[in-house]
Amino acid sequence: MATLYKTFIVNCSIQKRPSHVSDNSRHYNLPLFPAFKPLKKVLPEVPLQIDDVKKTMSKTAAILLDAFVDSFFEFIDQPLLPSQSNFAPVVELGEAIVVTSIQGQIPDDFPEGVYIRNGPNPLFGGLQSTNSIFGRSSYIWVEGEGMLHAIYFKRWSPGIWTVLYNNKYVETDTYKVEKQRSKPLFLPAIEGDSPAILSAYLLNWLRFGKVNKYISNTNVFEHSGKFYSVAENHIPQEIDIFTLKTLRNWNVNGAWDRPFTSHPKKVPGTGELVTFGVAATKPFAVVGIISADGKKLVHKVDLKLNRCTLCHDIGVTQRYNVIMDFPLTIDLNRLLRGGPLMKYNKEEYARIGVMPHYGDANSIKWFEVEPNCTFHIINSFEDGHEASYLELEVVVRGCRSLDSLIPGPDPSLKEFEWLSRCHEWRLNMQTGEVKERGLCGANIVYMDFPMINGNFIGIRNRYAYTQVVDPIASSTQDVPKYGGLAKLYFEESCAKFSMQRNREQPEEPIRVECHMFEKNTFCSGAAFVPRDGGLEEDDGWIIAFVHNEDTNISEVHIIDTKKFSGETVAKITMPRRVPYGFHGAFMPISFETQ
């Protein structure tokens, strides 16, 4: 989740623990002017001397700044509770490992490809805090350098599969700096005492030209046949999907120069990619559209927001972009006044904006909604007449909470209010009316990290899937743990599973079917995998990394979405422990050219 957050963000986990290893694991590489002539002998020497002086001064300043930080800032490992053991980082494998332990059977019509999940994996043993003459500052749970975990599925013949596992850090610019010097360098600049955060901002900028690390730990997406790792405090990094090697930063041929949402969306029909970047200084929010071939930024517009709202996701429909402007904000002025840099304030306004894909700030139609924090949109689509605004509604569904888990929930709030539930907003484009409701009614099902069949992004869909929160296991550390999965039936009520709901969308809670794991077992990075040749929206599987905290063993589970509450189709035991992380994706790929 988280992720969220990130010019100003951070990921999870902590101290180094032994990995689950197999001594006999096999390793594989996966196939990257004339009167002035006398002066010419003299003048060139002057710039060279000036350059030498500048370099010397710059080097001296860097040495002095490093010495200041080393003398007045103490880095301290943040300890982990026993219940947080699988938030601890692991080491890189270096090479892919063949996976041999499979319970059940991978279906024959399961597609070849790679299931890949991103997540935080902090360097140097875990998350850091600092003590200094300015006070204390800490990285928050969503911070940590990104690490990719990938499972490759290669089918040789019916029932015969080769399954490989690999992991690798995303080598961002700041990762390389710290890795080269083999110690933490960037000072935490998100949470803590105001003077400490301000000094961290300044010192990070003076030393590295950046106020925060580039973490690239939240999501993985594909566009025009290329694959990218991303977190919204920086631009994406292109990766080699077969080796997980970081290839380059992706700035759309120099046209995109600001943060990039972790959840860009493809426009239905055109294949254009809609992105969104938030920053702590104006312009606070910018929307961009990238061509279907990924080579050109075809539209870029400042939304002219008057605050930096920490928007993690963006929605699309066939004609519109959907903007979430909710009261989780980054405010430098608030920090200068001694308040927190990041804060959720339920007394401030919350609104959803609907704008044409190629619109500007003046074209946005804003809808005031109840204050909330929604990191993830399930889907958005148009419902009603397609030719005009008349009777047209834009429907937005998401995972909504009444508080923010980043940087941390308000301890004075009611129990579990920081956990999210499935919610719907219906926005009337003619009247401006908003209808919103919890889709699960009185049924208390906390959920997040939604996923749908990717062919239905931006259009009306019948099904969605989420990770289900175990509120008891989550309450001891203010970090969600997901003890199961849910299938949401938007067109069926929970009272009458077989009856399709009508266009008026009656108020009965929707049907929710759950697939729960055994005790002390939790998942992360779940993704929908369409069945090869499947014709129906829910024809496929959910695939997820799953970890049993009692045995300390990690697995990958494959669950048939047509028999969702039934037995798991296949359980693939990982040769190494896989820490909890954020978003996953399944990418169909061909191994023939490798």
Q: Average pLDDT for residues 7-28, to the nearest whole number? A: 34
Query: 1 vs 8, which has greater pLDDT?
Result: 1
Question: Quick check: helix, strand or coil at residue 143?
Answer: coil
State in Å, rounded, how far the first CA of the chain is from the last one.
Answer: 33
Three-state secondary structure along 22-68? Answer: CCCCCEECCCCCCCCHHHHHCCCHHHHHHHHHHHHHHHHHHHHHHHH
CB 457 within 8 Å of CB 384: no
Question: Which tens digit of pLDDT belongs to each residue from 540-571?
Answer: 999 999 999 999 999 999 999 999 999 999 99
Average pLDDT, the chain: 87
Contact between 128 and 136 (Cβ < 8 Å):
no
In a domain, 8, yes or no: no
Q: How confident is the model at residue 385 (pLDDT cuts 50, 70, 90)?
A: low
- Is the pLDDT at 11 greater than 50? The verdict is no
pLDDT (tens digit per residue) in 431-452: 999 999 999 987 778 999 999 9
| Tokens describing residue 365 | 């139609």
With respect to residue 10, please indicate whether it lies within any of the assigned structural domains: no
> Bigger pLDDT: 237 or 390?
237
263 labeled part of a ligand binding site: yes
411: confidence class by pLDDT, cuts 50, 70, 90: low
What's the CA gap between 573 and 575, in Å, rounded? Answer: 7
Assigned token pair, 30: 């996966």
The more confident residue out of 33 and 546 is 546
Weakest-pLDDT range from 97-106, 117-126, 311-320, 506-515: 506-515
Beta strands 308-309 and 315-316 are unpaired
Q: Is the pLDDT of residue 90 over 50?
A: yes
pLDDT above 90 covers what percent of the chain? 74
Whether 192 maps to a domain, the answer reads: yes
Domain assignment present for residue 43? The answer is: no
> 191: domain range?
54-494+505-588
* Closest to 88 measured CA to CA, from 549, 506, 571: 549
Q: Cβ of 185: how many Cβ atoms within 10 Å?
A: 17
The answer to whether 187 touches 46, Cβ cutoff 8 Å, is: no
| Closest to 301 in 3D by CA, of 355, 253, 342 | 355
Q: Give every CB contact of residue 116 below 8 A, 6+ residues apart in sequence.
A: 148, 149, 150, 151, 220, 241, 584, 585, 586, 587
CB-count exposure of residue 432 (10 Å: 0-12, 13-18, 19+): exposed
Pair 314, 321: CB distance under 8 Å:
yes
Q: Is 583 annotated as a binding residue?
A: yes
Residue 3: band (very low, low, confident or very high) from pLDDT cuts 50, 70, 90? very low
Contact between residue 148 and residue 117 where contact means Cβ atoms under 8 Å apart: yes
Bridge partners (DSSP) listed for residue 558: 543, 570
pTM for this entry: 0.88
Q: Is residue 441 part of a domain?
A: yes
Which of 269-273, 318-322, 392-396, 491-495 has the weakest average pLDDT? 491-495
CB atoms within 10 A of CB 428: 17
| 180-232 confidence digits (pLDDT tens) | 999 999 999 988 999 999 999 999 999 999 999 999 999 999 999 999 999 99
Q: What is d(CA 380, CA 460) in angstroms, rounded to the nearest whole number?
A: 8
Cα-based distances in Å from 294 to 185, 186, 236, 269, 322:
34, 32, 13, 15, 21
Q: What separation in angstroms does the CA of 551 have from each of 102, 236, 373?
A: 17, 36, 35
271 belongs to a structural domain: yes
Model pLDDT, residue 453: 97
Q: Kindly report which listed range (57-66, 95-104, 270-279, 339-348) carries the lowest average pLDDT score.
A: 57-66
Q: What is residue 116's predicted lDDT score, i.e. its pLDDT? A: 98
**Residue 125: predicted pLDDT:** 86
In a domain, 132, yes or no: yes
- Euclidean distance between CA atoms 230 and 148, whole angstroms: 11
- Burial track 70-102 (b if 16+ CB lie within 10 A, e otherwise): eeebebebbebeeebbbbbbbeebeebbebeeb
Position 397 confidence tier, pLDDT thresholds 50, 70, 90: very high
Q: Residue 247 is which amino acid?
A: L
Question: Is the pLDDT higher at 389 or at 179?
Answer: 179
What pLDDT is stored for residue 62 in this prediction? 84
Quick: pLDDT tens for 462-479: 999 999 999 888 877 767
Residue 27 annotated as lining a ligand binding site? no
Q: SS3 for 337?
A: coil
DSSP state of 517: P
Residue with token string 């299938």: 487
Number of domains comprising the chain: 1
Q: Are 589 and 112 in contact (CB under 8 A)?
A: yes
- Higher pLDDT: 390 or 128? It is 128
Amino acid occupying residue 412: S
Inside any domain, residue 23 = no
Any binding-site annotation on 234?
A: no
| Greater model confidence, 443 or 282 | 282
Residue 52: the pLDDT is 65
Q: How confident is the model at residue 10 (pLDDT cuts 50, 70, 90)?
A: very low
Is the pLDDT at 19 greater than 50? The verdict is no
Q: State the CATH number of the domain containing residue 357.
A: 2.130.10
Round to whole Å and give the CA distance between 338 and 336: 5
Determine the pLDDT at residue 479: 79
Sign, Cα dihedral of 218, 538, 425, 300 = positive
Pairing status of strand 421-428 against strand 393-401: antiparallel
